[in-house]
Chain A
Amino acid sequence: MFLGNLASLRYFLPEFAVTATILLLVVLHVVTKSPRSTASGFLSLLGVGAAIFLAGVAPAGAGRSIFEGMVAHDGFAVFFKVLTALATLVVIFMSMDSRDLAGRSQAEYYIFLLSTLLGMFLLSSATDIVMLYLALELVSIPSYLLAGYLKGQERSTEAAMKYVVYGATASGVMIYGFSILFGLTGSTQVAEIGRSLAAGKATLPMLLASVMVAVGFGYKIAAVPFHMWSPDVYEGAPTPATAFFSVGPKAAGFAVLVRFYYTVFAAADPGTGLWRLTSAVDWPFLFAALSALTMTVGNLVAVKQSNVKRLLAYSSIAHAGYMLMGFVLLSSAGIEAILFYLVVYLFMNLGAFYVVVLVSNATRGEEISDFTGLGSRAPFAAVALSIFLFALTGIPPFSGFIGKVYLFAEVIHRGVYWLAVVAALNSVVSLYYYTRIVRAMFFEEPKDASAIPVPAVSGALLVLLVAPTLILGVYWEPVARIAADSVRMLAF
């Protein structure tokens, strides 16, 4: 049932497209006379576009285990490949526009970005713990370099250092957990580990293993208490890289979290759309507690932030908390809700960061005070940011509302009422700090009232990010259907 290596190659085309682009970028970097040319940006766009086409538009028959069971080629993986590649595409546009990165060597930046993308492709499809660890490091190591890309800026270097120290420790603890799982089952195959564990009754080692693995994955999705790195990294890193971290690796982290826990510590009940807990450890409750903690800490700390990047960092922690609600329900509708929320979150969060890039290009700052009077200085950007922020809050008729409806409905349907109450209260808190930015933009007098020019290309991209945020708020069935299909095709 496992496909051999040569036969697998034709199901691995998106990864080939990304790899080829990385190699071409290396050649370009060596050959080109001026390393600051924009050619590398366009080449990356082309490569990622090709990857999206190969993964999403023309996928080779899904539902296979390829490379001798190392990697799954299923609907779930395809969904995440398209999602992360789309996020990367937007981030490349953003990077070409950013003044943070202008005047620096570009090719290396895109090499790191695309290496991370390759890691996310593998992370969302890995079905063997060796592959999983390899993919996780492939996401992490270039991310450290992206965070510290602004050479000579102390804050960027500090961000990179904190990232690498936290990341190395978390992944170390995680593979110690893997080693326990390997010892209990004698296999590195995720599905095989799940079957062996279901047969045995080793409670304490299993508790240890599931907690240790949760450290590694929790760090990737920035769940409390493993979130400490994220505000610092998000604030210090170049803004496009921050936008990337808040969507891409987080989405891939959710992919691996769902695939791993739903295979190793649970088993699908055929026909019901539900999963049955096979481990003696009640990890759904553990994660429900983490979810409540994550959204509460994220929202409460965001309230007193004055730096917009840092505020959005805490807001993205809170959103990870909301999405974790779908993960603890052991139902396919819960996973569907996560997938749908990730799509919505991609557009609204990247959009918000894009406006931050545009504003800080002109004002050289990211404090809320730099946004005062944006309503008159750059009306279009201000309106767009307001739409993104209201969508992040979850106010109808924007897409964030529909995302939250799916999550809340399933939480209530599965009877976890306390979690729904916590999440509802949290949404109210988030309204406060999101509207603080909106108020600064429209109702406060700016120190400097000169207009901020928004180039036509940037404006067009902004429209492309606003449109899904608005449209998915009123017409969301197609995306919801794709999400549902992707969960149905979750094969191991």
Chain B
Amino acid sequence: MTLDKLLVIAAALFCCGLYTVMTRRNAVAVLMGVELILNATNINFVAFSFFLSRVMGGQIFAVFVIVLAAAEAAVALAIFLRMFSTTGTVEVDAADQLKG
């Protein structure tokens, strides 16, 4: 495994994530797209940390990203659950009360 290959994988994953966020209408699927973006970032950090600088900064950052992604997902899912119980759907398009 070389650095180049890892970076290409990460970039591909990032694009998949961004595509998911922009095209999916289900809020949970959008959240999964965000997780893909965050994992692409983690691959980048760990790869750079391992191949280039040999310092732990990148690895530590990846751990922080994992923890914060969990925190964010917990809050996001709670909000989606609330939305499901008030409107009966988690489609992003269904949320159209606020506009203009």
- A interface residues with partner B (beta carbon < 8 Å): 129-130, 133-134, 137, 140-141, 144-145, 148, 151-152, 154-155, 157-162, 164-165, 168-169, 172-173, 175-176, 178-180, 182-183, 186-188, 231-232, 235-236, 304-305, 307, 310
Query: Which residues of B42-69 are within 8 A (CB) of A?
Result: 44-45, 47-49, 52-53, 55, 57-58, 60-61, 64-65, 68
Q: Assuming A164-B76, A187-B57, is B82 touching A148 (CB within 8 A)?
A: yes
- CB A293 to nearest CB in B, in angstroms, measures 19
Which residues of chain B have C-beta atoms less than 8 A from A175's C-beta? 38, 41, 65
Cross-chain contact A144 with B75 (CB below 8 angstroms): yes
Cross-chain contact A157 with B79 (CB below 8 angstroms): yes
Query: Which residues of B69-85 are within 8 A (CB) of A?
Result: 71-72, 75-76, 79-80, 82-83
Q: Assuming A186-B52, A231-B98, is B83 touching A157 (CB within 8 A)?
A: yes
Which residues of chain B have C-beta atoms less than 8 A from A154's C-beta? 86-87, 97
Q: Assuming A130-B60, A134-B64, A168-B76, is B37 touching A157 (CB within 8 A)?
A: no
Q: Interface residues of B: mostly helix, strand, loop or mixed?
A: helix
Cross-chain contact A182 with B97 (CB below 8 angstroms): no
User: Of the candidates B34, B41, B61, which one forms a contact with A169 in the assembled complex, judged by CB atoms under 8 Å apart?
Assistant: B34
Cβ-closest chain B residue relative to A306? B100
Query: With the chains together, A172 CA to B17 CA distance in Å?
Result: 10
Cβ-closest chain B residue relative to A169? B21
Q: A141-B72, A160-B82, A179-B58 are in contact. List 8 more A-B contacts (CB 8 A).
A: A155-B97, A157-B86, A161-B27, A161-B92, A173-B37, A176-B37, A176-B44, A305-B100
Cross-chain contact B92 with A172 (CB below 8 angstroms): no
- CB A1 to nearest CB in B, in angstroms, measures 18
Query: B5 within 8 Å of A by Cβ?
Result: no
Query: With the chains together, A168 CA to B55 CA distance in Å?
Result: 28
Query: With the chains together, A234 CA to B33 CA distance in Å?
Result: 25
Query: With the chains together, A305 CA to B95 CA distance in Å?
Result: 19
Q: Assuming A130-B64, A134-B68, A148-B82, is B48 touching A172 (CB within 8 A)?
A: no
- CB B89 to nearest CB in A, in angstroms, measures 11
Query: With the chains together, A154 CA to B82 CA distance in Å?
Result: 9
Cross-chain contact B68 with A176 (CB below 8 angstroms): no
Which residues of chain B have C-beta atoms less than 8 A from A183's C-beta? 7, 44, 47-48, 52
Query: With the chains together, A334 CA to B86 CA distance in Å?
Result: 47
Q: Assuming A175-B65, A183-B52, A187-B57, is B75 touching A164 (CB within 8 A)?
A: yes
As a 0/1 sequence over residues 19 to 45 of chain B, the CB contacts with chain A under 8 angstroms (1 = contact) are 001000001001101100110110011
Give the bracket for the number of chain B residues in contact with chain A: 35 or more
Cross-chain contact B80 with A161 (CB below 8 angstroms): yes
Cross-chain contact B31 with A172 (CB below 8 angstroms): no
Which residues of chain B have C-beta atoms less than 8 A from A168's C-beta? 31, 34, 72, 76
- Output the residue of A154, A172, A236 with the most chain B CB within 10 A: A172
Q: Assuming A169-B34, A175-B38, A179-B45, is B64 touching A157 (CB within 8 A)?
A: no
- CB B17 to nearest CB in A, in angstroms, measures 7
- Output the residue of B18, B64, B79 with the most chain A CB within 10 A: B79
User: Of the candidates B18, B64, B98, which one forms a contact with A159 in the assembled complex, judged by CB atoms under 8 Å apart?
Assistant: B98
Q: Could you list 24 A-B pairs, sorted by A, with CB under 8 Å?
A: A133-B61, A133-B64, A134-B68, A141-B71, A141-B72, A144-B76, A148-B79, A155-B97, A157-B79, A157-B87, A158-B98, A164-B75, A169-B21, A169-B30, A172-B37, A176-B37, A179-B58, A182-B49, A182-B58, A182-B61, A231-B100, A235-B98, A236-B97, A310-B100
